[in-house]
Amino acid sequence: MGTTTRKAPRSKNTPNPHYKPPGNILQKLNTFVHLDVITPFVFFAFWGVMLVVVSPVLAAFFLPLTLLYQLGMALVNKLGPPKSLKSEFAVVITGCDTGFGNLRY
């Protein structure tokens, strides 16, 4: 019977041995973007693209889905509820006569 050695689990504080830092170009770009003079322009460019490009793309995707959903709901309402729901049901009231929050001991 052979003995197997078991590795101890890595601590969260231990650096990952497979980690490689980003390349030199990305580090220089990150440093440039975080300059106090450049950061507002990057911020506005990002949100400008989000509002001008991404929002219409999402609208083009969700608008047909919303219209199909509304059309389906209109058809369901037009057909009416199932026959089993058209009959009347009794309502059973249980609980305190004075209502909740007015309990007296």
What's the pLDDT score for residue 20? 83
Would you say 96 and 103 are in contact if contact means Cβ atoms under 8 Å apart?
yes
Domain ranges of the chain: 24-86
Cα–chain center distance at 33: 28
Does residue 96 carry a pLDDT above 90?
no
Greater model confidence, 50 or 5 = 50
Does residue 31 carry a pLDDT above 70?
yes
Does residue 26 carry a pLDDT above 70?
yes
Cα distance between residue 23 and residue 31, in whole Å? 13
Average pLDDT over residues 47-69: 94
Does residue 77 carry a pLDDT above 90?
no
3-state secondary structure at position 21:
coil
